[in-house]
Amino acid sequence: VDCQLNLYFSKKSFFKCALHSCYSSLVLFFIPYAAMYDTVRDDGKDIADYQSFALLTQTCLLFAVSIQMSYWTAVNTIFVLGSLVMYFAVTFTMYSNGMFTILPSAFPFIGTARNSLNQPNVWLTIFLTSILCVLPVITNRFLMIQLCPTINDKAKATPAPPTQRARIRRTSSRRSGYAFSHAQGYGDLVTSGRFLRRPALTRSSGFTHVGRTTTSFSPMGRSAGYSPTGRPQNNKVPNVEVTSLQMYRTITDSAP
Amino acid sequence: IDYTGVSSDSPCYNCAKNFTWNTTEPCVCTVNFTLLQPNVFMYYGLSNFYQNHRRYVKSRDDRQLNGDLSALTDPSKECEPYRKSGDVSIAPCGAIANSLFNDTLVLYYVDSNNSKIEVPLVKKGIAWWTDKHVKFRNPAGNSNLTLAFQDTAKPVNWAKPVYELDPSDPDNNGFINEDFIVWMRTAALPTFRKLYRIIQKKSGTTPTLPNGNYMLNITYNYPVLSFDGRKRMILSTISWMGGKNPFLGIAYITVGSICFFLGVVLLIIHHKYDNRNTSADIPS
């Protein structure tokens, strides 16, 4: 549905993405710049040098993108934390004495990680920058979920009622539509596609109506008006048009 | 300093015990304490000096600075045009080394008799430990640095060769001279400060820099007017946050208030719209 609504690659979404990138770039440079301006370490030595500044900016970037995850599942969390750990491991290795001794011209950043990452100033800057980068994203997501929820969001929000479904299944499992051999059968119902429930308010405009409308429904036509539970099966959606299939057992009702 | 005198080893214990509202004689007790004086750090600051220009940053040879003998006589191509002077290779090569800051700043205290007392300045302990002990090494093989550097020339803009940077201290001479190391750590921004000297704290209650008039004697060697640069001397004490930069404090307060405000606003929105959402129907 989202793809049908051109939600992912339209000019509007591109513009939103570009705006977010501009904002992030500005934050990721200017916050460390202002924090490092005229600053020194807590023992008086240099911290505003080229290499420490570069390390600070790249660490801010990593934290900012790691926090911007959409779904914090267990696997996702493990991999994100793992990649952060890998980043620090590689950084400390590259900036260690050993690598410098092997190839001095390739590893000029020696000592930078040790000397700058033990400053509370640096960690506070990293924390501030990542929070500031992530803030609009989280606010946007929250507002979108609250004010214009998509079908996926609503589906995630409503819990599935399992008991009702199980009960329906069991009572009618012994009955098959083919027992009603004296009736027409389901042939034209299936081929017309009307077994998909039609919405009363057309939110997703992708569906077109195929086949007969329900105005021609006659309870005598299909199974002599018999229905397994004797009542309409979805009480929560009163404004959905009653299709003939609602009188039959269906699995496609309340639980998505 | 809490002088209530509750515990018996406190100087004011007797006074506290015996004192009632009726006593007419004042009770005197003395408490001793020492004021801790911090170290004062002396920096030189330069403005409009782009030590972060890419060609400038690349113009060094870390192998040569690490004491590699082959690189001493055959420095890297990155150092051009400061690689060789005539036929002899330059040590240390490169534009960064060539533009070493060579002003000398001396601080004098002018006391009440108008006599100048020189403030003792410590020139060691100003560079990073890893720089001084791992990254920068003098060429091995000769404890006499003049001999070790004999096949090399001094950088074009220097007055003295590298082995005469501090002849009085072999641990601060040659490539491991701390002023040189501090300069070679290129700054990230066009306005920067680099640690020059440390004024050690004195014992007892003597302030590190007493109140009064001071004199700064400058041996002006470093030209900056050609690129509209500025030079300054900065004296600063240090806290755990390092120097005086109020930006982080102000930024945290601002961002914190924004977050708090956003939190309240979103809570209201959530409260209002969430009720509507859970009872909403799935339309398809």
Q: In the prediction, which pLDDT does A211 show?
A: 41
Please answer whether residues A129 and A28 qualify as being in contact, where contact means their C-beta atoms are separated by less than 8 angstroms.
yes
Q: How much is the pTM?
A: 0.73
Answer whether A44 sits within 8 Å of B198, measured CB to CB.
Answer: yes
Q: In the prediction, which pLDDT does A223 show?
A: 45
Name, in order, each residue with C-beta under 8 angstroms of B43's C-beta and a sequence gap of 6 or more. Answer: A40, B193, B194, B195, B196, B233, B234, B235, B236
Substitution target in B44, B130, B199, B276 with the highest count of A β-carbons within 10 Å is B130
Comparing A32-36, A236-240, B1-5, B37-41, the range with the smallest average pLDDT is: A236-240
Nearest CA in chain B to A204: B284
The one-character DSSP state at A99 is H
Instruction: Count contacts between A and B (CB, < 8 Å).
Output: 162
The one-character DSSP state at A220 is T
Name, in order, each residue with C-beta under 8 angstroms of A128's C-beta and a sequence gap of 6 or more. Answer: A31, A35, B248, B251, B252, B255
Q: In the prediction, which pLDDT does A208 show?
A: 41
The size of chain A, in residues, is: 256
β-pair type (B152-153, B88-90)? parallel
Q: Which strands, in side-by-side order, build the sheet including B104-110?
A: B116-118, B104-110, B213-219
**Domains in chain A: boundaries:** 7-40
Residues on chain A touching B243 (C-beta within 8 angstroms): 38-40
Q: Where residue A177 falls among pLDDT bands split at 50, 70, 90? A: low
Residues on chain B touching A96 (C-beta within 8 angstroms): none
SS3 A114: helix
Cβ of residue A161 closer than 8 Å to a chain B Cβ: no
Answer whether B187 sits within 8 Å of A111, measured CB to CB.
Answer: no
Answer whether B198 sits within 8 Å of A38, measured CB to CB.
Answer: no
Report the pLDDT averaged over residues A122-146. Answer: 91
- pLDDT for A6 beyond 90: no
- pLDDT for A213 beyond 50: no
Cβ of residue A182 closer than 8 Å to a chain B Cβ: no
Measure the CA angle with vertex B197, ends A38 and B249; round to 5°: 25
Please answer whether residues B61 and B75 qualify as being in contact, where contact means their C-beta atoms are separated by less than 8 angstroms.
yes
Of A128, A146, A207, nearest to B252 by CB-CB distance is A128
In the numeric block, the tokens 């911007």 are attached to: A68
- pLDDT for A69 beyond 90: no
Nearest CA in chain B to A132: B255
- The amino acid present at A42, given as its one-letter code, is D
DSSP notation for chain B: ------STTSTTHHHHHH--TT--S---------PPPPPEEEEEEEES--TT-HHHHH---HHHHTT-HHHHHS--GGGTTSSEETTEEESS-SHHHHT----EEEEEEE-TTS-EEEPP-B-SS-S-HHIIIII--PPTT-SSHHHHTTTEE--TT-SS-GGGS-TT-GGGSGGG-HHHHHHHS-BSSSSEEEEEEEEPPPSTT--SS-SSEEEEEEE-----GGGT-EEEEEEE---TT-SS-THHHHHHHHHHHHHHHHHHHHHHHHHHHHHHHHTPPP--
DSSP H stretches of helix in A117-220: 120-147, 151-157, 162-172, 187-192
Q: Which B residues, 123 through 152, put their C-beta within 8 Å of a C-beta on chain A? A: 126-131, 134-135
Phi, psi of B17 (to 5 degrees): -70, -45
Task: Report which of residues A250 and B68 the model is more confident about.
Answer: B68
Answer whether B185 sits within 8 Å of A51, measured CB to CB.
Answer: yes
Of B128, B188, B242, nearest to A115 by CB-CB distance is B128
**How far apart are the C-alpha atoms of B217 and B234, rounded to whole Å?**
14
Average pLDDT score over chain A: 74
**How far apart are the C-alpha atoms of B104 and B35, rounded to whole Å?**
32
Instruction: Residue B249: count other Cβ atoms within 10 Å of its Cβ.
Output: 11
SS3 A49: strand
Phi, psi of A46 (to 5 degrees): -65, 140
Residues on chain A touching B74 (C-beta within 8 angstroms): none
Q: In the prediction, which pLDDT does B181 show?
A: 94
pLDDT in tens, chain B (284 residues): 777 777 777 777 777 777 777 777 777 778 777 666 788 999 999 999 999 899 999 999 999 999 888 888 888 888 888 888 888 899 888 999 999 998 999 988 888 888 888 888 998 899 999 999 999 999 887 778 888 888 888 898 999 898 888 888 888 988 999 999 999 999 999 999 999 999 988 776 677 888 888 888 888 888 888 989 999 999 988 888 877 888 999 999 999 999 999 999 999 988 887 766 665 555 54
Q: Where residue A193 falls among pLDDT bands split at 50, 70, 90? A: confident
β-pair type (B88-90, B116-118)? unpaired
Answer whether B247 sits within 8 Å of A34, measured CB to CB.
Answer: yes
Q: Where residue A195 falls among pLDDT bands split at 50, 70, 90? A: low
Substitution target in B58, B124, B128 with the highest count of A β-carbons within 10 Å is B128
Cβ of residue B74 closer than 8 Å to a chain A Cβ: no
Dihedral sign for Cα A37, A96, A108, A24, please.
negative
CA distance B24 to chain A (A): 52
Strand partners, B105: B218
Q: How many CA atoms lie within 13 A of B203 on its CB side?
A: 0
Report the pLDDT averaged over residues A175-198. Answer: 66
Of A46, A131, A151, nearest to B194 by CB-CB distance is A46
Answer whether B282 sits within 8 Å of A237, measured CB to CB.
Answer: yes
Q: Where residue A87 falls among pLDDT bands split at 50, 70, 90? A: very high
Cβ of residue A142 closer than 8 Å to a chain B Cβ: yes
In angstroms, the Cα distances linking B114 to A10, A69, B109, B110, B212 are: 78, 68, 9, 6, 11
- pLDDT for A118 beyond 80: yes
- Residue B37 is encoded by which pair of tokens? 């004086």
CA distance A181 to chain B (A): 32
